[in-house]
Amino acid sequence: MIILLNGSINAGKTTASKALCRLLPQTAHVEVDSLRDFIAWMPLEESIPINIQTALAVTKIFASHGLNVVFSYPLRPEDYEYLARELAALSVPVFCFTLNPGLEIELQNRGTRELTDWERERIKYHFETKLATPEFGETINNAGQTPDETAQEILRRIQSASVETNAAVVKLP
């Protein structure tokens, strides 16, 4: 199973991904942002397609070895369409969720994270351009949830979708 976890900066993608990895057996977390370090000298807009393509290759390798994968990144519609097209060839279910606790919450320092001015401006940009509220996947308002509660909600929604479509998905906790 592959879970695409979308959302703006500071929406909770990384902590929810880590919680999903704890709850789901044999699950890898592919955090696209971590790939940015390899080409940090490149302007962000130029690096995004390369980072997504690289993360997709890693995702496919993990999936080919029978692992579940949580793929986390702020996805633009064209990124989602690309991933959906590429992942359709795999024989594993793919689910997409957007975490959106709301602009005011995302602009706050949460946990140990100290937002930079650039990150705050980027969050505003994500909301202005509707990246934080896309028309693909399911949106979860995780404002009042712990990362574990968000992960459990994601798993409940996957289980529900799997029952409705008779899809074969790993047994969820």
pLDDT tens by residue, 39-51? 999 999 999 999 9
Q: Does domain 2-160 have CATH number 3.40.50.150?
A: no
Closest C-alpha among 48, 65, 5, 50 to residue 30: 5
Q: What is the pLDDT of residues 17-30, one digit of tens each?
A: 999 999 999 999 99
What is the pLDDT averaged over residues 31-57?
A: 95
Q: Tell me: pLDDT of 167 over 70.
A: no
The alpha helices in the chain, defined as continuous H runs, are 13-23, 32-35, 44-64, 77-87, 103-106, 117-128, 147-165
**Sequence spans of domains, the chain:** 2-160
Write down the pTM of the prediction: 0.91
Whole-number pLDDT of residue 165: 57
